[in-house]
């Protein structure tokens, strides 16, 4: 049963990768890569159970964290053209 | 008996999760617009991940594995709407509009300060042409 789930996730990963390659705008690619990351988390979890080593869940948790931060960083870069905004403190530098 | 029940529940959840994951990926391929694709991607993040991880929880039983699975699931459920919202907002700010946006009015509370929204210009153009017709 884990194999069926793993195959379904693999098919979905292939479709997400297709969208990442096709995507007309950069936001389509960001969406596809975000989905790909989510499916990677699921894939790692299922593979851990498939091979009888559920310790892989630590990797899945870490990958979920990294995926979220990466998506937000890329989005902020494309929205503002910068990763940090200058704050006007009212004092001269 | 309890083990068989847990296995059956786990299989149902895993199969349901597989279905939703594939459907969400198909939607991301087939939908015409980024905003509709976001909707399809949300299916994967909520239903797909939820069902698959709950199915794995039935296999894990009451143990540290289930605690880790709950952590993964909770984090996915918090981070997915945030990234979807950020993606939609960044796309809207970049000038790409959703389909059928003639009647769209962005409320002041949702606006980014200093941002120029093409929807406003379109509304003004419509209003101008309407006055000319009158």
Query: Which residues of chain A carry a pLDDT beneath 70?
Result: 81-93
Predicted-complex ipTM score: 0.80
Nearest to A38 by CA among B23, B50, B55, B34: B50
Residue ranges in B31-63 assigned as alpha helix (H): 34-43, 49-60
- Chain B residues with CB-CB distance to A60 below 8 A: 68, 72
Q: Cα A37 to chain center, whole Å?
A: 3
- Chain A residues with CB-CB distance to B65 below 8 A: 54, 57
Contact A25, B34 (CB under 8 A): yes
Q: What is the pLDDT of residue B132?
A: 42
For chain A, the structural domain boundaries read: 2-8+26-80
Tokens of B115: 């941002």
pLDDT-based confidence at residue B114 (cuts at 50, 70, 90):
confident
Tokens of B53: 């991880």
Statement: residue B131 has pLDDT above 80: no
pLDDT-based confidence at residue B17 (cuts at 50, 70, 90):
very high
Q: Is B60 on the interface with A (CB under 8 A)?
A: yes
Asked if the Cβ–Cβ distance from B83 to A75 is below 8 Å, we say yes
pLDDT, tens only, B18-38: 999 999 999 988 888 888 888
- Rounded to whole angstroms, the Cα distance separating A2 from A52 reads 11
For chain B, the structural domain boundaries read: 2-99, 102-134
Q: What is the pLDDT of residue B129?
A: 46
Q: Is A34 on the interface with B (CB under 8 A)?
A: yes
For B38, which residue in chain A has the nearest alpha carbon? A31
Q: What is the dihedral of CA A21, A61, B16, B46, to 10 degrees?
A: -70
Asked if the Cβ–Cβ distance from B18 to A39 is below 8 Å, we say no
- Chain B residues with CB-CB distance to A42 below 8 A: 17, 21, 48-49, 52-53
What letters, b where the CB count within 10 A reaches 16 and e where it falls short, cover B109-132?
A: eeeeeeeebebeeebeeeeeeeee
CA angle, B91 as apex, A25 and B104 as ends, to 5°? 125
- Chain B residues with CB-CB distance to A32 below 8 A: 28
Q: What is the pLDDT of residue A9?
A: 93
Asked if the Cβ–Cβ distance from B28 to A19 is below 8 Å, we say yes
Question: What distance in Å separates residue B99's CA from the closest CA in chain A?
Answer: 16
Tokens of B43: 């299916």
Q: Is A20 on the interface with B (CB under 8 A)?
A: no
Pick A68's closest partner by Cβ from B34, B69, B83: B83
Q: Is A50 on the interface with B (CB under 8 A)?
A: no
């Amino acid at each position: 049963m884990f194999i069926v789930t793993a195959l379904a996730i693999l098919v979905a990963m292939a479709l997400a990768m297709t969208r990442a390659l096709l995507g007309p705008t950069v936001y389509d690619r960001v969406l596809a890569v975000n989905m790909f990351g989510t499916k990677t988390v699921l894939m790692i979890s299922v593979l851990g159970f498939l091979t009888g080593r559920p310790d892989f869940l630590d990797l899945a948790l870490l990958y979920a964290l990294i995926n979220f931060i990466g998506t937000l960083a890329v989005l902020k870069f494309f929205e503002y053209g910068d990763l940090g905004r200058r704050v006007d403190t009212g004092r001269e530098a | 008996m309890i083990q068989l029940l847990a296995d059956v529940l786990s299989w149902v959840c895993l199969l349901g999760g597989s279905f939703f994951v594939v459907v969400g990926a198909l939607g991301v391929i087939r939908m015409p617009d980024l905003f509709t694709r976001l909707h399809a991607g949300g299916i994967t993040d909520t239903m797909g991940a939820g069902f698959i991880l709950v199915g794995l929880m039935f296999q894990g039983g009451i143990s540290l594995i289930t605690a880790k699975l709950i952590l993964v699931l909770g984090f996915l459920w918090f981070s997915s709407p945030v990234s979807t919202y950020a993606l939609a907002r960044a796309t809207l700010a970049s000038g790409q509009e959703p389909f059928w946006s003639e009647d769209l009015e962005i409320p002041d509370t949702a606006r980014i300060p200093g941002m120029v929204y093409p929807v406003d210009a379109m509304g003004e153009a419509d209003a101008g042409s309407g006055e000319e017709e009158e």
